[in-house]
Chain A
Amino acid sequence: MNLQAFIFCGKGNHLSPIVDQHFEHRSTPKALLPIGNRPMIEYVIDWCDQANFKEINIVAQVDEIEQIKEGLTTFLELREKQFEALSKVLTQSYHTNHLHKPIVINFISSKCNNTGEKLTKELLPRITNDFVLLPCDFVTDVPPQILYDHFLNMDDNNLAMSVYYNNQIENSDRRHMGKQFFTVYSNNDDLSERSVLLDIYSKENVAKTKYLQIRNHMLWRYPNATVSTKLLNSFIYYCSYDLVKLLRDDKSTDRNDNSSDEESMEIDLTEIKPSYFKRKNKLIKDTINSNKSLAKVFRDLARRSWQHEEKRSTVAIFILPEVTSFYRANNLNSFMEANRFILKIKAQSFSKQGKTAPTASVIGIDSIVGQDCTILEKTNIKMSAIGDGCKIGKRCRIVGSIILSNVTIEDDVTLENVIIGEHAKISIKSKLTNCDVEEHYVVPSRSVLKGEVLSRSEGNSDVEASSNAAESTTDDDETDEETDEYYDDEEFDDDDGLFER
């Protein structure tokens, strides 16, 4: 498989207060937050290993990249060891041809503030072939081969394939619901053409402008379109090399085109792939403003399919079937769901494991407890992930919660649906339900809290507002942020600018 993979590590502003960069002391980067006690990015790398990409690149902000690299060293060593062990076993059998040396992972530090810029300014020169863009925060049971198959089979005039999944999280009682979108895509009921992404509007924006506006031009070109509110962007984009040509600056095109074309020609000769029969796409360059998040760049690319008189290349959409599971831990709610998903798998595959816990306490089969934890007697843990070095007192009840490392929980504490940051302390006889506790926070004894965000910065009641404010100011910096911040006015201008006169 000749794909280059790029994993974008975001800052995770929606995971506040667990990830918070408003303090001098930086907490764990989002990519290293544990899902089922493993950094989430490890799941992505595992998935990439399955996919057998040509190259795996991790793209992160300059100030985070070292931390991520460090956090991954043990994992990468383990990966090598696994390979060695496997190769020893396999050398005796016939299956040596299946053995692939794990691909070296490159770390790319980035100075740009948004993913669109990262791609166009920093990554384009590195790309020599079709490539894949991935987020750092997904867990799924969809094998990468399925996506690759769909990518190979997409219609020729598609530049890229975006992957969408159905929102599987039903309850919306928690505050940290992700944004909702109206995703517009063409239907392929009776057509040979496959579905194509047409447009995305955020619900917020629609509420602001009072109407969901659908252009008539779109209706005439795609007379049978579907609008869905339950689809979410997976941020997985399989892109053809055409996209690079399209996004590249005109100046560089002249120089690079020949060389890269020859290069890809060489590769083509040695490999059999369906794209032999691929029609060459005529690329029409429009000014594409890539100074925004990738989701928006792809939305603009999708809009090109109907905005112009002459047909442009399109962006395919692949919707993961409902039977599959796909979670992106990009907000607290889905972070929790992703954890539970991993815990469920664990419960199905492992038998009961008890570690340091004395026999008097009960740890459910569906829970994970990290190293060096102390759990005292008569404590009950269910559907929870507990990080390394936690101290849990007597007679605690922990249900459906995520407790990061080095948390101290005193006696008689009840936790339900709670996320607790590192080094936090929950004092005796507290009872927390649906709460998020920031790192180093100390919950006083006997507090009974429901649905609160506990943060050190300000009073509890203002936290909500402050985190919102933080969001809005840092909106553009965010990697996986899909805010659709264009206003009616701007949008119309945008259109007009692009239309041909």
Chain B
Amino acid sequence: MTPKQKRGTASHKDVVEQDDRLQAVVLTDSFETRFMPLSAVKPRCLLPLANIPLIEYTLEFLAKADVKEVYLVCSSHADQINEYIENSKWNLPWSPFKVSTIISPESRSVGDVMRDIDNRGVINGDFVLISGDVISNVQFDKMLDFHKKTHAKDKDHILTMCLSKAIQHYKTRSIEPATFILDKSNSRCIYYENIDKPHSKIKSALSIDPELLEDVKEFSLRNDLIDCRIDICSAQVPPLFQDNFDYQTLREDFVKGVVSSDLLKKGVYAYITDEYGSRVDSWQAYDEISQDFLGRWVYPVVLEANPLEENTYSYESPHIYKEKDVVLAESCKIGKCTAIGSGTKIGEGTFIQDCVIGKNCSIGKNIKISNSYIWDNTVIGDHSVITHSIVASDVELGSKVILNDGCVIGFDVKIDSGMILPQGSRISSSPIETDVPSVFEESLSADSNSSGEEKASFAVNKKNRDIIAIELVGPNGIGYVYESDYSDDDDDSSISNHVSNTLVHHVEELYLSDDSIRSTSARTKKKRTMSSGSMYTDREDYETEFEDEEDFEKEGIATVERAIENNHDLDTAMLELNTLRMSMNVTYHEVRTVTIKSILRRINHFIFTQTLGAKEAVSKVFSQWSALFKRQCFDPEDYIDLINIVMEEIMKIDFDKPNLILFASLNSLYENDILEESSIYSWWDTISEDPSYSNVVSLTSKWVEWLKTADEESSEEDDDE
């Protein structure tokens, strides 16, 4: 760990230690990869929003909050942040607070940062924990007041979260939906849980332990709050992270862990405000917040307040902000909600609306730019059309270039004339290798905590990645395609991820924002995938060629499940299945698969609801229904196939103890005279060597061995007789 670097030339020597001076910890790293490829070059907190680096908004907020000491925790791109702060106004002697950077390169999550802070022992009282990408006009003194009052009432109160009502900017909260369960009388947080997006296919429910609800008369379920990520923590928070070393994220791990633990007995409270507060945590949010900021929703935080010293913005209706030395051609049109930086030239006949244009850009003639963000020093050729895109600094676009929805053009990219970029293209000027482990973790969990985003390194020499994407940038262009980590897999979680990796403008999402707040348009999608009669939605393909099979699987599972549930007799169930089999023209293999699937689901259901133990559940269901297989299997191969299906399906459903389930299933099949030793042995011979099954078959191997010895013994006995 690198030593703490104290900054502020002579000032820190004569600082008088005061008890009530407020400290703040700014998390400059979000430990996410949502802003790739741009965040590979610059850390997220230095990316400009409305031509001002994101960190400035946070620091302005802290200055207004009367914070006296600010610690910036950096892990990736620490040098850039360091340099930026050193040269900023915050480092001047008359700065409202003392800024120090803490470099913590090994941190991979908020949890790591908090543990690092605890190790350094810099915290000596209540402190503000804020993300480096927050834009807010929350009146901090009111929040602090709330914090102090609650603290007086509840000594175990350790954290106050600032939550903003989402009504008017509902769309910005679609990134990490979470529900807060709050006590209505004192807004104590009783429970916290991330929930699926509205268009998620998974039918899920929030499960609240009733023990948490004792003594609570009324509580509200809030799914309409934006988490501003402005927290006031007591000094006990970092040690708590230290004690619970598995806490990674602030909300999902820490808040949820603290409120649902009956040992800690600590309280987390929510401060709910009508004011604006939001994190720039995705391209969508970047877009929304830029528009809100230009639309003056965040007043008094506005652009013409000129937070940077060199800024010279002035405001005119309708929401147009211009700096000095902007050269506009006579016939160009500037529409609503637009900001233009100094030194920028805009040519004849160009139309710009809902945009931010950086400094020293030169924008040619007859160009149409709408809903886009053009950063500094960019050159755009004549007759180009840019919609809903982000163009980073020092980019050169030729003439007649068309950028479609959701394009992200990285720093220093050159695009040749006449190129048309498809929706969602992301181009960087040098190839970027993504961390393999991070990809893995991303695809596992949507909330991506432990990957080190902005530290993703440049790699040169890597397979196809270093070939210039000529088909996109043209023969004279420079640019590489940045592959989204998620584009390949097709399961549910990645769909949501995919959305968050482009700009907002998917039809689905757009619809959501156009519509009234409450209607969640994406529901249309959700319902289609409900599988009948089950609580588990499994993977489903949409390709048409699988339709028959797919339908049979659905129908078949429904049939068997109906039979199990309503206690049909075996004949009826078999008759139904057979009819289905013939009408859909599928093999017995499919029939066996659906039967096994439904049986296993039933078992899983019993285990899941804790009605029965694993073993009991297996033997109960199998003893009743295994007779079905007598009429589904006809020769030894069929039986081996059956065992294989059992094994594979067990692996698909994530049981707690797959090996136990497999063993119990096979055992009950054996005991119900479905399986014969011979088929078990021949199956075992094909399978025992395969390492991929090793964790499932561990118990079964013992069983097979036992069977063999028992068999030998019995045959010996036979011999004796």
Query: Which positions 173-227 of chain A face chain B at CB distance < 8 Å?
Result: 182, 184, 187, 190, 203, 206-207, 209-217, 219-227
Identify the stretch in A86-94, A112-120, A244-252, A491-499 within 8 Å (CB) of chain B at 4 or more residues. A491-499
Q: Which residues of A contact B200 (CB under 8 A)?
A: 216
- Contact A214/B205 with A496-B530, A496-B532, A496-B533 known, Cβ cut-off 8 Å: yes
Say if the beta carbon of A273 comes within 8 Å of chain B. Answer: no
A213 near B533 with CB under 8 A, answer no
Closest CB of chain B to A252's CB: distance in Å? 29
Closest CB of chain A to B410's CB: distance in Å? 35
A219 near B527 with CB under 8 A, answer no
Closest CB of chain A to B163's CB: distance in Å? 12
Q: Which residues of B contact A222 (CB under 8 A)?
A: 518
Say if the beta carbon of B213 comes within 8 Å of chain A. Answer: yes
Q: Which residues of A contact B223 (CB under 8 A)?
A: 219-220, 223-224
Query: Which positions 599-655 of chain B face chain A at CB distance < 8 Å?
Result: 605, 609-610
A219 to B527, CA, bound (A): 16
A221 to B528, CA, bound (A): 18
Q: Which residues of B contact A496 (CB under 8 A)?
A: 530, 532-535
**Closest chain A residue, CB of each to CB of B611:** A489
Say if the beta carbon of B196 comes within 8 Å of chain A. Answer: yes
Say if the beta carbon of B222 comes within 8 Å of chain A. Answer: yes
Say if the beta carbon of A153 comes within 8 Å of chain B. Answer: no
Q: Which residues of B contact A182 (CB under 8 A)?
A: 213
A489 near B609 with CB under 8 A, answer yes
A228 near B217 with CB under 8 A, answer yes
B220 near A224 with CB under 8 A, answer yes
B217 near A187 with CB under 8 A, answer no
Residue among B166, B208, B221 with the highest chain A CB neighbour number at 10 A: B221
Pick the residue among B210, B222, B518, B535 that contacts A206 (CB under 8 A).
Answer: B210
Say if the beta carbon of A38 comes within 8 Å of chain B. Answer: no
Residue among A190, A212, A221, A223 with the highest chain B CB neighbour number at 10 A: A223
Residue among B195, B216, B223 with the highest chain A CB neighbour number at 10 A: B223
**Closest chain B residue, CB of each to CB of A203:** B210
Per-residue B-contact encoding for A222-255, CB less than 8 Å = 1, 0 else: 1111111110000000000000000000000000
Say if the beta carbon of B545 comes within 8 Å of chain A. Answer: no
- Contact A230/B207 with A209-B609, A496-B534 known, Cβ cut-off 8 Å: no
Say if the beta carbon of B523 comes within 8 Å of chain A. Answer: yes
Query: Which positions 205-229 of chain B face chain A at CB distance < 8 Å?
Result: 205-210, 213, 216-224
Q: Which residues of B contact A220 (CB under 8 A)?
A: 198, 223, 520, 523
Say if the beta carbon of A22 comes within 8 Å of chain B. Answer: no
Say if the beta carbon of A488 comes within 8 Å of chain B. Answer: yes
A230 near B217 with CB under 8 A, answer yes
A226 near B221 with CB under 8 A, answer yes
A227 to B208, CA, bound (A): 12
A77 to B588, CA, bound (A): 78
Q: Which residues of B contact A187 (CB under 8 A)?
A: 220
B222 near A216 with CB under 8 A, answer no
A229 to B224, CA, bound (A): 22
Per-residue B-contact encoding for A131-142, CB less than 8 Å = 1, 0 else: 000000000000
Say if the beta carbon of A263 comes within 8 Å of chain B. Answer: no
Say if the beta carbon of B184 comes within 8 Å of chain A. Answer: yes
Pick the residue among B216, B217, B518, B535 that contacts A492 (CB under 8 A).
Answer: B535
B532 near A501 with CB under 8 A, answer yes
Say if the beta carbon of A262 comes within 8 Å of chain B. Answer: no
A221 to B518, CA, bound (A): 6
A244 to B110, CA, bound (A): 57
B165 near A190 with CB under 8 A, answer yes
| Main DSSP-derived SS at the B contact region | loop
Per-residue A-contact encoding for B187-206, CB less than 8 Å = 1, 0 else: 00000000110101001111
Closest CB of chain B to A92's CB: distance in Å? 53
Q: Which residues of A contact B216 (CB under 8 A)?
A: 229
Say if the beta carbon of A66 comes within 8 Å of chain B. Answer: no
- Contact A211/B210 with A216-B205, A220-B198, A488-B609 known, Cβ cut-off 8 Å: yes
Pick the residue among A207, A226, A311, A499 that contacts B219 (CB under 8 A).
Answer: A226
Closest CB of chain A to B698's CB: distance in Å? 30
B527 near A309 with CB under 8 A, answer yes
A226 near B527 with CB under 8 A, answer no
Say if the beta carbon of B329 comes within 8 Å of chain A. Answer: no
Per-residue A-contact encoding for B532-555, CB less than 8 Å = 1, 0 else: 111100000000000000000000
Say if the beta carbon of B707 comes within 8 Å of chain A. Answer: no
B218 near A228 with CB under 8 A, answer yes
Q: Which residues of B contact A230 (CB under 8 A)?
A: 217-218
Q: Which residues of A contact B221 (CB under 8 A)?
A: 184, 214, 219, 224-227
A213 near B207 with CB under 8 A, answer yes
Q: Which residues of A contact B218 (CB under 8 A)?
A: 226-230
A209 to B349, CA, bound (A): 67
Say if the beta carbon of A500 comes within 8 Å of chain B. Answer: yes
A223 near B205 with CB under 8 A, answer no
Closest CB of chain B to A486's CB: distance in Å? 13
A214 to B289, CA, bound (A): 31
Say if the beta carbon of B714 comes within 8 Å of chain A. Answer: no
Say if the beta carbon of B565 comes within 8 Å of chain A. Answer: yes
Q: Which residues of A contact B210 (CB under 8 A)?
A: 203, 206-207, 210-212
A499 near B195 with CB under 8 A, answer no
Say if the beta carbon of B371 comes within 8 Å of chain A. Answer: no
Say if the beta carbon of B494 comes within 8 Å of chain A. Answer: no
A327 to B165, CA, bound (A): 37
A210 near B610 with CB under 8 A, answer yes
Pick the residue among A216, A488, A492, A501 that contacts B527 (CB under 8 A).
Answer: A501
A213 near B206 with CB under 8 A, answer yes
Closest CB of chain B to A231's CB: distance in Å? 8
- Contact A211/B208 with A190-B165, A226-B184, A493-B533 known, Cβ cut-off 8 Å: yes
Say if the beta carbon of B524 comes within 8 Å of chain A. Answer: yes
A190 to B222, CA, bound (A): 13
A214 to B207, CA, bound (A): 6
Closest CB of chain B to A196's CB: distance in Å? 12
Q: Which residues of A contact B524 (CB under 8 A)?
A: 309
- Contact A212/B208 with A226-B184, A501-B527 known, Cβ cut-off 8 Å: yes
**Closest chain A residue, CB of each to CB of B204:** A216
Q: Which residues of A contact B122 (CB under 8 A)?
A: none
Say if the beta carbon of B179 comes within 8 Å of chain A. Answer: yes
A216 to B220, CA, bound (A): 14
A226 to B183, CA, bound (A): 9
- Contact A309/B204 with A212-B210, A214-B221 known, Cβ cut-off 8 Å: no
Residue among A210, A212, A493 with the highest chain B CB neighbour number at 10 A: A212
**Closest chain A residue, CB of each to CB of B221:** A225
A187 to B219, CA, bound (A): 11
Query: Which positions 315-340 of chain A face chain B at CB distance < 8 Å?
Result: none
A489 to B218, CA, bound (A): 27
**Closest chain A residue, CB of each to CB of B527:** A309
A210 near B523 with CB under 8 A, answer no
Q: Which residues of B contact A212 (CB under 8 A)?
A: 207-210, 213
Q: Which residues of B contact A221 (CB under 8 A)?
A: 518-520
**Closest chain A residue, CB of each to CB of B198:** A220
Say if the beta carbon of B687 comes within 8 Å of chain A. Answer: no
Say if the beta carbon of B167 comes within 8 Å of chain A. Answer: yes
A216 near B533 with CB under 8 A, answer no
**Closest chain B residue, CB of each to CB of A495:** B203
**Closest chain B residue, CB of each to CB of A311:** B519
Spell out B's residues near A (CB within 8 Å): 165-167, 179, 184, 195-196, 198, 200, 203-210, 213, 216-224, 518-520, 523-524, 526-528, 530, 532-535, 565, 605, 609-610
User: Given A203-B210, A212-B208, A223-B224, 10 other A-B contacts at CB below 8 A?
Assistant: A187-B220, A206-B210, A209-B609, A225-B220, A226-B220, A228-B218, A493-B565, A496-B534, A496-B535, A499-B530
Listed by A's residue number, 19 A-B pairs whose Cβ atoms lie within 8 Å are A182-B213, A190-B167, A210-B210, A211-B207, A212-B208, A216-B204, A216-B205, A219-B221, A219-B223, A220-B223, A221-B519, A223-B166, A223-B222, A227-B219, A228-B217, A229-B216, A309-B527, A501-B527, A501-B528
Return the 6 tightest CB-CB contacts between A and B, nearest first.
A223-B224, A223-B223, A211-B207, A219-B223, A213-B205, A214-B206
